[in-house]
């Protein structure tokens, strides 16, 4: 019922949701016939459906390289994330992972659910990796080696300072940005972006995830995962886990806002990076997650629910972002809207209010100076649950579905597809 209420409140979500549902189905039908590639793309859909959808737009050779790059790093991350593995076992695996990707026989039992399957049958990923061009292989090996070493370093080291936080995020996400820039360059479709801009692309996404996932990480069993830097949280509480207790709600929100303000420092670099991209498919691949990140930060800011449950963008808004993000004008518009949303939540009593507003105003200024804001469809203006709006939105949705099918389905199947889009 919650999803249905969301649709009635935002009827214009329905069209992009059904459109996204159809795109996902179409992507799932494009699984390669070779067993190892079939495993890789099937696994990609299971561990990240949204990522799997976006990479389907890339040309075949680059798409294969990015798919394998993602799965290799996801496997590396699965080893790091498994808190049941002792440091004595984990550290050597992380440091040697860049060599394991050349071994068609290597696998390691860890992780849960789909991640366990990925690790148990990692030989499929290695087989596919060995079929990539040498330029792609070298980029993936280099980043895997550096990331594994960085992860190993932080197995035995806590995130104490903001510099530690930036270093950790560099190892687990900034290097992903560097690696993707190398893959884009190796494909011949893009110039090689600077390391600093590539790093910021990764850090912005990673810091957003760390902020959003506080409760999941702190409640991890058998051992908490703690990535918020002590230099920030110690200003508000004595222990990081204290933020989740109701009696510390005011301090928790102030700490959260401090963390969001820290993440905003990377936005200008991200916009510079995206504005330099020339290939439309690569642009969308990079831009959609960045827009999702600024939207997520806007929701998380000043929101005590970060410490009570899951805070994320509603499915319909996510579908809108994927549907609308096609050009830099769309990116400027989205960052402008979500930054305004975030700024409206800043209270003068917050200890970091001035710094937060300054960073947001810098972002808003860049967006205004782009001269493209009049081209955007706002993400902030809320749709009213009026019958007319609902009927118009549903009419567009059904018209779209009729257009993409070679033979029109029955009215019943159309309504069923709409209902499934709402439900899932």
Catalytic pick from 168, 227, 332, 335? 168
Q: Is 285 a catalytic residue?
A: yes
171, 285, 301, 379: which is the annotated catalytic residue? 285
Do 277 and 190 form a contact (C-beta atoms < 8 A)?
yes
Residues 322 and 52: their CA atoms lie apart, in Å, by 12
* Whether the bond into 397 is cis, omega within 30 of 0: no
Q: Which of 146, 225, 314, 376 is catalytic?
A: 225
The residue among 289, 231, 232, 220 whose CA lies nearest residue 256 is: 232
Asked if 168 is an active-site residue, the reply is: yes
Instruction: Given the residues 63, 212, 284, 359, select the one marked as catalytic.
Output: 212
The tally of CA atoms less than 13 A away on the side-chain side of residue 254 is 15
Active centre residues (catalytic): 168, 212, 225, 285
């Amino acid at each position: 019922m919650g999803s249905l209420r969301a649709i009635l409140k935002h009827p214009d979500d329905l069209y992009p949701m059904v459109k996204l549902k159809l795109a996902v189905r179409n992507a799932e039908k494009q699984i390669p016939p070779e067993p190892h590639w079939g495993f890789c793309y099937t696994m990609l859909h299971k561990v990240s459906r949204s990522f799997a959808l976006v990479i389907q737009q890339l040309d075949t050779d680059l798409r294969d390289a990015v798919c394998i790059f993602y799965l290799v790093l996801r496997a590396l991350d699965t080893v790091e994330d498994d808190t049941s593995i002792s440091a004595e076992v984990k550290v050597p695996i992380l440091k040697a992972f860049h060599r394991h990707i050349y071994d068609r026989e290597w696998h390691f039992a860890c992780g849960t659910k789909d991640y366990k399957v990925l690790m148990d049958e990692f030989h499929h990923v290695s087989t596919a990796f060995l079929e990539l061009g040498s330029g792609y292989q070298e980029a993936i090996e280099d980043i895997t080696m550096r990331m594994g070493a960085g992860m190993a370093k932080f197995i035995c080291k806590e995130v104490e300072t903001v510099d530690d936080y930036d270093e950790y995020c560099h190892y687990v996400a900034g290097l992903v940005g560097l690696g993707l820039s190398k893959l884009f360059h190796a494909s011949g479709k893009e110039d090689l972006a600077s390391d600093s801009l590539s790093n910021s692309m990764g850090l912005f996404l990673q810091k957003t995830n760390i902020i959003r996932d506080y409760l999941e990480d702190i409640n991890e069993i058998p051992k908490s995962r703690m990535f918020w830097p002590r230099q920030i949280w110690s200003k508000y509480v004595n222990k990081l886990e204290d933020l989740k207790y109701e009696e510390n709600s005011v301090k928790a929100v102030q700490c959260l806002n401090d963390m969001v303000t820290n993440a905003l420092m990377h936005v200008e670099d991200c916009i510079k990076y995206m504005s330099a991209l020339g290939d439309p498919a690569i642009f969308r691949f990079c831009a959609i997650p960045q827009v999702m990140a600024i939207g997520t930060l806007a929701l998380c800011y000043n929101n005590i629910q970060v410490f009570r449950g899951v805070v994320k963008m509603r499915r319909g808004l996510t579908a809108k972002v994927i549907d609308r993000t096609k050009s830099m004008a769309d990116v400027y518009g989205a960052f402008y809207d979500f930054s305004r949303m975030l700024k409206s939540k800043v209270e003068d009593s917050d200890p970091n209010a001035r710094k937060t507003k300054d960073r947001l105003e810098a972002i808003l200024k860049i967006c205004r100076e782009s001269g493209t804001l009049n081209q955007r469809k706002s993400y902030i203006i809320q749709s009213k649950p009026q019958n007319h709006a609902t009927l118009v939105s549903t009419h567009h949705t059904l018209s779209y579905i009729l257009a993409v099918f070679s033979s029109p389905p029955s009215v019943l199947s159309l309504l069923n597809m709409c209902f499934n889009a709402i439900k899932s």
